[in-house]
Amino acid sequence: MNLPDMKQAKSRNKESVEFIYTNPITTNKFSGKKYFIKTYGCQMNVHDSEEISGLLENLGFEEVTTELEADIIILNTCAIRENAHDKVFGFLGRCKHLKGEKPDLKIILCGCMAQEKSVVDEILAKHKYIDLVFGTHNIHELPSLLMNLSNGLNIEVKSNEGNVFEIGESFKRDSKYSAWVNIMYGCDKFCTYCIVPYTRGKERSRKSKDILREVNCLKEKGYKEVTLLGQNVNAYGTDLDDDLNFAGLLESVAKTGMMRIRFVTSHPWNFTDEMIDVIAKYDNIMPYIHLPLQSGSDRILKLMGRRYTKEEYLTLYKKIKERVKNAAITTDIIVGFPNETDEDFLDTLSVVEECKYDGAYTFIYSPREGTPASLMEDSTPKEVKEERLQKLNEIVNKYSNMNNQKYLNKTVKVLLVGTSEKDDNKLYGYTETMKLVNVICDKSLVGEIVDVLITDAKSFSLDGIVE
Ligand code: SAH
Ligand code: SF4
Ligand code: F3S
């Protein structure tokens, strides 16, 4: 076991990235065995689960939809806030009980929590019924780990940080129409509240030729949309010699002719004019940008290590709105950062009032062990933080509803991706601006981009009919 050292992570230097092309092991050793995978956290984890599922199916495993039927249960975990941690240990309790009835059941924990030393210590002390823990840098090793699993708790949390592993098209993708494509891994920003740089390691970009090959391959398979993934896509390519920057990559992806191109997440810092120009120039780059604010107070932004001021953020916001036609912008906001005052909070509200976001993910600050912010004193009572969150959500929802009302009686292009969960007679899909739309239409249209007339607009979704 070789856990990344939280204290040393920040001083890591930029060694060159090594690319390793691996052929996943294919065997029928586990033929007929069933796996259940539960995924917590962000799109990175969702896409990692697609990789894990692909690797397992190469070994002969079949996916099942409940833990009760499974021979192996995989928990792909998130460490971003305390409640993510609590949910995982809650579910592990159920797994332990199941293992009591079915002793051959294998329980596997991976993802960002596996990278936390305190979690591994907790597992060693209290959760020895777990069979395997593997880290975010060890996913490609899963087949050999399973082939060589010994009795008892196996732990493989190695730091493979300097490497990018290319496994080809070995993903079991959740959708046949819209695909995630990693463009880079890790994060070097070290926002003071955030655990991601410790759990995902330093920024490593994939070579543009590997990314473009993947996008072209998806296009040939009939995919209509790709979302380029990175914790901070603006930094794409800064760790590579002689390769494209993010604007260049985005332009090359647009030129493949993929019908819809999206990307997450772009940091407001280093969001260049060149990037805005490329987004504005290509119709197949969707006019939707997730631009995390975190706080509207300069004092708090500085304590968070976010590298921009409220004014700089607003200037960027306005520039994007001016140059990218009908752009929808969403954000992330944290309330209750250590010693956030009423005044700081009002600064955040003022930015929300000014930007009138299409939507926002809002969170109460959660201290994460090993991060600088977790050492800051904090005297703001929990109730005050909860009140602030509620107040913020009221305003966010007001604007999200207001923005959705603008779609009423308009015709928009929607990529239909599946059957609506609430109504079997409807398909659901997304507008170019990433609005969720439930559509009354023929089921055979799934996977198509269609013109939809919007007949109703609510805070979090639209209803429509095919024109
Ligand atoms: N790379 C992305 C963020 C990924 S984490 C970016 O910088 O935008 C997603 C969101 O979780 C963050 O934007 C932040 O709003 C929230 N978050 C991260 N750490 C948190 C913490 N310790 N407490 C509460 N929210 C947190
Ligand atoms: Fe976390 Fe900041 Fe990196 Fe986003 S940019 S993952 S918030 S450290
Ligand atoms: Fe969570 Fe890891 Fe993503 S901490 S938010 S799953 S990068």
Ligand nearest to the CA of 348: 1
Distance CA 110, CA 77 (A): 6
Query: Could you tell me if the CB of 265 is within 6 A of ligand 1?
Result: yes
Nearest ligand 2 atom to alpha carbon 265: 4
CB of 127 within 6 A of ligand 1: the answer is no
Report the C-alpha gap between 308 and 298 in whole angstroms. 8
CA of 463 to the centre of ligand 3 (A): 32
Exposure letters 99-114 (e unless 16+ CB within 10 A, then b): beeeeebbbbbbbbbb
Q: Which ligand is located closest to the Cα atom of residue 76?
A: 3
> Is beta strand 106-111 parallel, antiparallel or unpaired with respect to 72-77?
parallel
CA separation for the pair 76, 110 (Å, rounded): 5
Distance of alpha carbon 320 from alpha carbon 329, whole angstroms: 9
Looking at all shown ligands, the one closest to residue 265's CA atom is 1
What is the whole-number distance in angstroms between the Cα of residue 2 and the centre of ligand 3? 20
Question: How far is residue 67 from each of residues 24, 86, 114, 172, 421, measured CA to CA in Å?
Answer: 25, 19, 20, 19, 21
- State the distance from the centre of ligand 1 to the C-alpha of 194, rounded, in angstroms: 6
Q: Are strands 436-440 and 411-419 parallel, antiparallel or unpaired?
A: unpaired
Which residues are within 8 A (CB) of 334 and not within 5 positions of it... i.e. 6 or more apart?
A: 193, 294, 295, 304, 362, 363, 364, 365
Enumerate residues 6+ apart whose C-beta is below 8 A from 82. 366, 367, 368
Q: What is the pLDDT of residue 299?
A: 98
Q: What is the DSSP string of 302-351?
A: HHHT-S--HHHHHHHHHHHHHHSTT-EEEEEEEE--TT--HHHHHHHHHH
Nearest-CA residue for atom 4 of ligand 2: 231
- Closest atom of ligand 2 to 195 CA is 1
Identify whether the C-beta of residue 66 lies closer than 8 Å to the C-beta of residue 13.
Answer: no
Q: Give yes or no for residue 244 CB within 6 A of ligand 2.
A: no
Count other Cβ atoms within 10 Å, centred on residue 208: 19
Q: How far away, in angstroms, is 176 Cα from ligand 2 center?
A: 30
What is the CA(88)–ligand 2 centre distance, in A?
A: 22
Q: Which amino acid is at 278?
A: V
| Residue 249 alpha carbon to ligand 1 centre in Å | 25
| Residue 144: closest CA among 239, 59, 232 | 59
Q: What is the pLDDT along the chain (467 residues), one digit of tens a residue?
A: 445 455 556 556 556 778 888 777 777 889 999 999 999 999 999 999 999 999 999 999 999 999 999 999 999 999 999 998 889 999 999 999 999 999 999 999 999 999 999 999 999 999 999 999 999 999 999 999 999 999 999 998 977 677 888 887 789 999 999 999 999 999 999 999 999 999 999 999 999 999 999 999 999 999 999 999 999 999 999 999 889 999 999 999 999 999 999 999 999 999 999 999 999 999 999 999 999 999 999 999 999 999 999 999 999 999 999 999 999 999 999 999 999 999 999 999 999 999 999 999 999 999 999 999 999 999 999 999 999 999 999 999 999 999 999 999 999 999 999 999 888 889 999 999 999 999 999 999 999 999 999 999 999 999 999 98
Of the listed ligands, the closest to the CA of 203 is: 2
- Atom index in ligand 3 nearest the CA of residue 195 equals 4
Q: Which residues pair with 261 in a beta bridge?
A: 226, 285
**228 CA distance to ligand 1 centroid (A)?**
18
Report the separation in Å between the CA atom of 277 and the middle of ligand 3, taken as the mean of its atom positions. 30
Ligand 3 atom nearest to 80, measured from its CA: 4
Residues written for the chain: 467
Q: What is the CA radius of gyration of the chain?
A: 22
191 within ligand 2 shell (Cβ under 6 A) = yes
**Count of C-beta atoms within a 10 Å radius of residue 465:** 12
Which whole-number Å values give the CA distances from 116 to 109, 159, 199, in the listed order? 12, 12, 7
Ligand index nearest the alpha carbon of residue 191: 2
Using alpha carbons, list the distances in angstroms from residue 70 to 39, 374, 410. Answer: 15, 38, 47
Three-state DSSP at 42 gives coil
Please return the burial class of 43, using the count of CB atoms within 10 Å of its CB with bins 0-12, 13-18 and 19+. Answer: middle
Helix, strand or coil for residue 121?
A: helix
